[in-house]
Structure 1
Amino acid sequence: MTGQEARRAKRYDGRRGRRSVTGWTVERAAEELLRAEEARADRGRLTDEWPELDLATAYRVQDEALRRRLARGERLVGVKLGLTSRAKQRRMGIDSPLTAWLTDAMALPAGAAVPQGRLIHPRVEPEIVFVLGERLAGPGVSAARALAAVEHVCAGAEVIDSRFRDFSFALPDVVADNASSAAFVLGATRLPPGGLDLAAEAVTVEVDGAVVHTGTGADVQGHPAEALALAANSLAGRGLAIEPGQVVLTGGLTDAVFAPPGARVTLRFANLGSIELDGGVTA
């Protein structure tokens, strides 16, 4: 590459974003990740090919991918958090969870099988889920204020599916990849948050009847409402808020488990009921 070509490649364009010396842009990254998802083809890290990719730019990739999803007919239904576990944050070198988007195309009905035919290497994790009754906008939202905006709480099962080979990624990669979003199921039990001790809400994760993980709501930022508040405050930095009726997946209470074809994953919550996910069949 000549010096002139390098300078042209680095030029900033307010509409398209920063172009790296390797030709990467926000739009190209969003297109690549959506193509990998649609083709069920994992890939190497973006950061290996685009070393300049930082968190702020990664969130722009995430937002561009959402714009493309909405343009093809999907509807925004909520927000998810990732890396809410303190241990996972320490491993990734961050001190706050990640936020990402949920659309109606990701929602699965209760009793549905893991959609193996459109996923690469799905894993399942248990979540405490909030459905908002009123708008929640940061900055400065506390856990108490966040919980006051909640209409009801339910159990959730999130199916995650990284577009990166072997779930191997750096922090900007997973942010750009919408925090490994794939699908989610909401439990049938819907309860108001008042009177529930969500920090103590326990869950067991079973695979084919064998318990493989246990956790509580305290494993999510100390309390799921803290994760909700962090989501609102993080989104405020991008001029966004969580709207009434939107779903918020507050993060995994345990490590995710693989969901291979033929397996049955059962999430048993203390007060929020149970969710069963059939592993489906080989695509």
Structure 2
Amino acid sequence: MDIAVQKAADRLLDAYRTAEPIDPLTPEYPDASLEVAYRIQQAQVEQWTSAGDVVKGHKVGLASRAIQRQMGVDQPDFGHLTQSMFHLEHHPIASGTFLQPRIEPEIAFVLGRPLVGPGVTAAEAARAVDFVLPALEIVDSRIKDWKIGIFDTIADNASSGGVILGSCPVSLDQLDLRLAGCNLHINGELVATGAGGAVLGSPLSALVWLANTVGPLGVTLEPGHVVLPGSMTGAYPVAPGDSIVATISGLGTVTAVLGGKDEQ
């Protein structure tokens, strides 16, 4: 199975390099467990870090019912966020960075204390949060036409692509995460509304789930790391030249700008 894991990881890494998505992995690994999918993900992370990239946090994917229905899955997953995935808001992001991008608005946690599961409670998770920020996640898939199952998206680093953080930190005790409303605009057009409660009942629940899921794998959520708990709306396709703004009550706005086709 180690050979099969590396083969799948290499195919996904090639998709990054060639900008050509690959066929779904699930038909080739019909009986493989999700643990194998996470090993494929980890093999890619190890390749990135050995090349000089740095893990700067994690994301929880498939956390809302809207996203689960859209992707045809029934449970959350997690992926790694590396330094190269973070982009400044308002600064054009090179169009060649992504294959088939979609956008999601989220409430990002920035940790001030380590979180080590299992056994982490909501109270401990809240105490570990230094502040929150409005965020946009660019999700992307190295699988053709987004024809993914849960095995595919886990292996593909939870369909991670890019992260844009807002610039005004807010203390967790200054807002109710469940009731925080969100408007998502693409090129000035309102495309979706949502609320924090769409994310496992509360984004904080996603943070708890993450800590308790990665803890048995020997992973600690570190101070300074960013955790994206999941989208407050569905995921919407975006293209070169698009401008995306998420407005989250109590947090303000965050803006992502995708560079034009001539910007690489």
Give your verdict on TM over 0.5. yes
Q: How far apart are 1:50 and its partner, in Å?
A: 2.7
Structure 1: which amino acid aligns with 2:200?
Answer: Q
Q: Distance in 1 between matches of 2:194 and 2:52?
A: 37
Deviations 1:9-64 (A, max 9, x none): xxxxxxxxx16xxxx61111111101101211011101122323320100011111
The 5 A counterparts of 1:218-237 are: 218-237=197-216
More moved, 192-201 vs 222-231: 192-201
What stretches of structure 2 of length at least 5 have no aligned partner?
A: none
In the superposition, relative to structure 1, how do residues 86 and 144 fare at CA in structure 2: closer, same or farther (>3 Å)?
farther
CA distance in 1, matches of 2:188, 2:129: 33
1:85 aligns with 2:64: yes
> In the TM superposition, what is the alpha-carbon distance from 1:115 to its structure 2 partner?
2.7
1:14 corresponds to which residue? none
Give the aligned length.
Answer: 261
* Alpha-carbon distance change, 157 to 87 in structure 1, aligned in 2, over 3 angstroms: closer
Q: TM-score, normalised by structure 2?
A: 0.94
Unaligned runs of at least 5 residues, structure 1:
1-17
Q: Distance in 1 between matches of 2:128 and 2:72?
A: 30
Query: Once the 2 structures are TM-superposed, how far is the Cα of residue 255 of structure 1 from its aligned partner?
Result: 0.8
Kept after mapping to 2: 8 A contact 1:188/1:273: no
Aligned to 2:122: 143
Equivalent residue runs for 1:39-50 within 5 Å: 39-50=18-29
Output the CA distance in 2 between the equivalents of 1:83 and 1:149. 23
SS in 2 for 1:255: coil
Q: 2:111, 2:224 within 8 Å by CA — same for their partners in 1?
A: yes
Distance in 2 separating the partners of 1:271 and 1:242: 25
* Paired residue secondary structure (1:25): helix
* More displaced 10-residue stretch of structure 1: 43-52 or 65-74: 43-52
Following superposition of structure 1 onto structure 2, how do residues 111-260 of structure 1 map, counting pairs within 5 Å? 111-260=90-239
- The amino acid that maps onto 2:162 is A
TM-score, normalising length from structure 1?
0.88
1:87 is displaced (CA, Å) by: 4.6
Supply the distance in 1 between the matched residues of 2:236 and 2:93 (Cα, whole angstroms). Answer: 13
Aligned residues with identical type, % of pairs? 36
Q: Is the 8 A contact 1:134 1:150 kept in 2?
A: yes
**Distance in 2, Cα, partners of 1:236 & 1:152:** 22
- The root-mean-square deviation of aligned C-alpha atoms, in Å, is 1.5
Q: Are the aligned partners of 1:38 and 1:118 in contact in 2 as well (CA < 8 Å)?
A: no
